[in-house]
């Protein structure tokens, strides 16, 4: 585990770094600022002199309320918030290089509202890329992914006026069926599609299964079809790379152009911490030249967005460091292994991707009342689920799993 940037920092070191960053942002009390439609949080409600703020750099960031509008990994940015923008840049570069195996300084990115926004941002970039570089019309460009792909791609399809082709997976392995992929590509070609935006899962929502992006690559190349490939690591982004350090389902694969990671899932960051990262030279395809009152390039789907979210991600990464994070993930995997062993003894059929923390059991093994009582999530809410999933998060302890299993056995 050789890291270029990621290291553990003490609470005092983090505080000093964030305090320094906040001091470089605009201080509305010290500097007359007549034009920005922004200010610190309302001091009548969010009392600035609260004594606990002194020891809570994240809360101080919330009170200062930096706006990270735009993207800070390229071009100019609003000068008012340059201190905390630097922390966001550090987060993006660290994740691109130390987690996703990109070469240093080869990626752009920003902290989005969530995985949905990051996935739509990717689709938007590639739609414009094919339009601008290949003169493609929207009805010649399609989204492509497996049937287990998150529904945010259906939203992207609707918003961007792109057709969405979903490929069947094997019911047991959750792997893309190559013959089905071929059939889908033949059908899409017959319907006039010439360019593909592939969404390859780095852990699906329901199964935690990870697609092999090279299956898409091989078939698209066989059909001579141009494509761009995005990895949806909204769920898996903070567990799969740690649990599978040898993997090339990341920027080590030259066909991977961009990645979504959600810090508000496995990293337990506050909501509003989706992360979009792409190779340099791509995000420019969504440049909104009309955004002239903003200093810098507006190339993000979000406009205004809280800088405190980037600081929260930065703090979590620095608190654990890579080794602490490895230990935390392995604790979850230990619990998941324990659960699977019990399910094996019960003779239940279930799906688990190796070294991941989602276990999805066939619904026939679990009475609906027990599933409901223990908060298992069904694959459908129409009353006839095929599967129930257990996600072994930080709060899911062996004692809880044991209680659930005892209920099932009884």
Angle subtended at Cα 152 by Cα 146 and Cα 153, rounded to the nearest 5 degrees:
45
Q: How many CB atoms lie within 10 A of CB 165?
A: 18
Q: By CB under 6 A, what part of segment 367-396 binds ligand PLP?
A: none
51 vs 41: CA distance, rounded Å? 17
3-state class (DSSP) for residue 20:
helix
Whichever of 150 and 352 has its CB closer to ligand PLP, that residue is: 150
Size of the site for ligand PLP (CB under 6 A): 13
Q: State which of residues 88, 93, 108, 232 lies at the interface with ligand PLP (CB under 6 A).
A: 232
x/- mask, ligand PLP, residues 267-306, rule CB under 6 A, reads -------x--------------------------------
Whichever of 199 and 408 has its CB closer to ligand PLP, that residue is: 199
258 binds ligand PLP (CB under 6 A): no
86 binds ligand PLP (CB under 6 A): no
x/- mask, ligand PLP, residues 349-368, rule CB under 6 A, reads --------------------
Residue 277 pairs with which residues in a beta bridge? 109, 259
Alpha carbon separation from 12 to 63, 322, 346, 365 (Å, rounded) = 20, 19, 49, 50
- DSSP per-residue string spanning 92-124: HHHIIIIIT-PPTT-EEEEEESSHHHHHHHHHH
31 vs 151: CA distance, rounded Å? 46
115 binds ligand PLP (CB under 6 A): yes
Burial class (CB in 10 A: 0-12, 13-18, 19+), 163: middle
Q: Minimum Å distance from CB 202 to ligand PLP?
A: 8
Q: Are 297 and 125 in contact (CB under 8 A)?
A: no
Q: Minimum Å distance from CB 235 to ligand PLP?
A: 4
Q: By CB under 6 A, what part of segment 128-167 binds ligand PLP?
A: 150, 152
- DSSP per-residue string spanning 304-336: S-BHHHHHHHHHHHHHHHHHHHHHHHHHHHHHH
Q: State which of residues 114, 208, 272, 307 lies at the interface with ligand PLP (CB under 6 A).
A: 114
211 binds ligand PLP (CB under 6 A): no
Stretch that binds ligand PLP, among 167-175, 228-236, 347-355, 389-397 (CB under 6 A): 228-236
Q: How many CB atoms lie within 10 A of CB 329?
A: 21
Whichever of 241 and 274 has its CB closer to ligand PLP, that residue is: 274
Whichever of 47 and 271 has its CB closer to ligand PLP, that residue is: 271
Residue 370 tokens, joined = 């027990």
235 binds ligand PLP (CB under 6 A): yes
Residue position matching structure tokens 């961009």: 258
Stretch that binds ligand PLP, among 20-28, 113-121, 247-255, 368-376 (CB under 6 A): 113-121
116 binds ligand PLP (CB under 6 A): yes
The contacts of residue 337 (CB under 8 Å, 6+ apart) are none
Q: Are 310 and 91 in contact (CB under 8 A)?
A: yes
Stretch that binds ligand PLP, among 4-12, 111-119, 331-339, 397-405 (CB under 6 A): 111-119
Q: How many residues does the chain have?
A: 410
Stretch that binds ligand PLP, among 19-27, 112-120, 177-185, 346-354 (CB under 6 A): 112-120
200 binds ligand PLP (CB under 6 A): no
339 binds ligand PLP (CB under 6 A): no
Residue 81 tokens, joined = 């918030």
Positions that interact with ligand PLP (CB under 6 A): 114-116, 119, 150, 152, 204-205, 232, 234-235, 262, 274
């Amino acid at each position: 585990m050789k890291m270029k940037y990621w290291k553990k920092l003490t609470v005092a070191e983090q505080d000093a770094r964030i305090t320094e960053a906040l001091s470089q942002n605009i201080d509305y009390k010290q500097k007359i600022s007549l034009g920005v439609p922004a200010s610190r949080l309302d001091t009548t409600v969010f009392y600035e002199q609260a004594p606990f703020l002194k020891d809570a750099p994240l809360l101080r960031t919330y009170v200062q309320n930096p706006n990270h509008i735009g993207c800070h990994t390229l071009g100019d940015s609003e000068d008012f918030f340059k201190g905390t923008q630097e922390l966001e840049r550090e987060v993006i570069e660290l994740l691109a290089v130390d987690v996703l195996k990109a070469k240093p300084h080869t990626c752009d990115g920003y902290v989005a509202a969530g995985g949905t926004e990051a996935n739509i941002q990717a689709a938007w970039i590639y739609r414009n890329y094919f339009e601008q570089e290949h003169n493609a019309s929207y009805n010649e460009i399609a989204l492509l992914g497996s049937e287990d792909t998150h529904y945010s791609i259906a939203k992207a399809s609707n918003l961007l006026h792109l057709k969405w082709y979903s490929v069947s997976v094997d019911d047991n392995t959750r792997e893309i069926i190559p013959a089905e992929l071929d059939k889908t590509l033949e059908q899409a070609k017959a319907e006039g599609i010439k360019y593909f935006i592939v969404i390859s899962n780095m852990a699906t929502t329901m199964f935690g299964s990870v697609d092999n992006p090279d299956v898409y690559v091989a078939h698209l190349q066989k059909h001579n079809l141009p494509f761009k490939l995005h990895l949806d690591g909204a769920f898996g982004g903070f567990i799969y790379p740690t649990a599978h350090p040898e993997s090339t389902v990341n920027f080590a694969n030259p066909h991977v152009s961009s990645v979504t990671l959600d810090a508000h899932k496995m990293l337990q960051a506050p909501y509003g911490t989706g992360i979009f990262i792409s190779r340099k030279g791509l995000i420019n395809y969504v440049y909104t030249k009309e955004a002239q009152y903003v200093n810098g390039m507006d190339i993000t789907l979000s406009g205004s967005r809280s800088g405190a979210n980037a600081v929260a991600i930065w703090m979590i990464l620095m608190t654990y460091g890579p080794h602490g994070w490895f230990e935390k993930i392995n604790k979850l995997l230990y619990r998941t292994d324990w659960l699977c062993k019990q399910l094996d003894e019960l003779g239940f059929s279930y799906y688990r991707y190796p070294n991941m923390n989602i276990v999805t059991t066939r619904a026939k093994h679990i009475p609906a009342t027990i599933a409901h009582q223990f908060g298992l999530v069904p694959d459908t809410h129409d009353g006839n689920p095929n599967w129930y999933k257990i996600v072994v998060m930080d709060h899911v302890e062996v004692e809880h799993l044991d209680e659930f299993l005892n209920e099932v056995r009884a």
